[in-house]
Amino acid sequence: MFFRPSYPKNAISIEREYLAAVELQKRSSTYSINKASIANLPEGLLTPSFSEKNIADIEELAHLVQEAVQNADLRRQKRWSVALPDETAQTIIITLETEPKSQKELYEVLDWKVEKTLGIPAEQLRIAHENIGTDDSGKKRYIVTAINLSVLEEYENLFEQMRWHVGLILPRLVGEIKLLTKASEADSLLLSFRREGFSAVLLRNSIPFFLRSVVCEERETDDEIYRLLMFYKERLSPETPESLKSIMIIGRQVETKRLSKILNETLTTEPKILISNDLMLDIPSINLDFFKIAAPAGIATLAWG
């Protein structure tokens, strides 16, 4: 008999500008924020990076994390899942040309493809993968995340200092994807903004189908979204562009009115902009920003499989 890992119902997101700790409860098919807190971080304490030092002062960050979980009444929790800033990791979708003959061969092929894509030896990375089915030609596909061991060690030292047992560490984007799968229709799009651009993930029938990371200045955001939607219309769904039913937006870099204008210019229909209730997530307090708690909430849903 095989047993799936047991994950806690609480998770924390560590970002450049804030911390967000949540604990979920589940009633029927709806998840509810049972406990939560959001705390701001001082400028310069955390500088997310894939290859450079992230944490300027580990003791100060540990103090602020402990303060945040105490404010959420979660100080007694020692088992946590964690969402790290997207800048600390690389997330890609890999398609395998042939079927690996063993798990060992699968790991070797994924390592090789990650090395080829990122230009970094696999032994310097912590690589995690998830099977996301097959493409139209039957080739297996995986969503893969990679984080530098030196960067990961910084955060592991932080958790060790707080005597936490962290069983799951994922980039923020993957936590947001997990949340979107709870309500994904035929085609759903995630737009997750950060300081230097955004990530776009297209889910088809609740499965990641396409992923793109865009580096741009805020003034270039509208043009990049326009190009992305035209790519979707012409390449990803040329026969049925109206299949894009919903969009989940994380961040405040694009206003709904501006996005509606871009959608009208590119697609034949206007997809629904999702709010927390559409994702079966009940947020009882108006003081909690959805875009700040989406990632830890998405990861915390894994406690129920």
Q: What's residue 2's pLDDT?
A: 45
Q: pLDDT digit string (tens) for 61-106?
A: 999 999 999 999 999 999 999 999 999 999 999 999 999 999 999 9
Domains 10-85+149-172+281-304 and 184-273 share a fold: yes
Annotated domain spans of the chain: 10-85+149-172+281-304, 88-147, 184-273
Q: pLDDT digit string (tens) for 136-182?
A: 899 999 999 999 999 999 999 999 999 999 999 999 999 999 999 98
- Higher-confidence residue of 219 and 287: namely 219
* CATH code for residues 88-147: 3.30.1490
User: What percent of the chain shows pLDDT beyond 70?
Assistant: 98
* CATH code for residues 10-85+149-172+281-304: 3.30.420
Residue 5, pLDDT > 80, answer: no
Query: Among candidates 55, 43, 40, which has minimal Cα distance to 159?
Result: 55
CATH number of 184-273, picked from 3.40.47.10, 3.40.50.1820, 3.40.640.10, 3.30.420.40: 3.30.420.40
Q: pLDDT digit string (tens) for 12-54?
A: 999 999 999 999 999 998 999 999 999 999 999 999 999 999 9
Say whether pTM exceeds 0.85: yes
Residue 115, pLDDT > 50, answer: yes
What is the token pair recorded at 170? 């994922």
Please name the residues in contact with 101: beta carbons below 8 A apart, sequence gap of 6 or more: none
**Judging by DSSP bridges, how do beta strands 281-282 and 272-273 pair with one another?**
unpaired
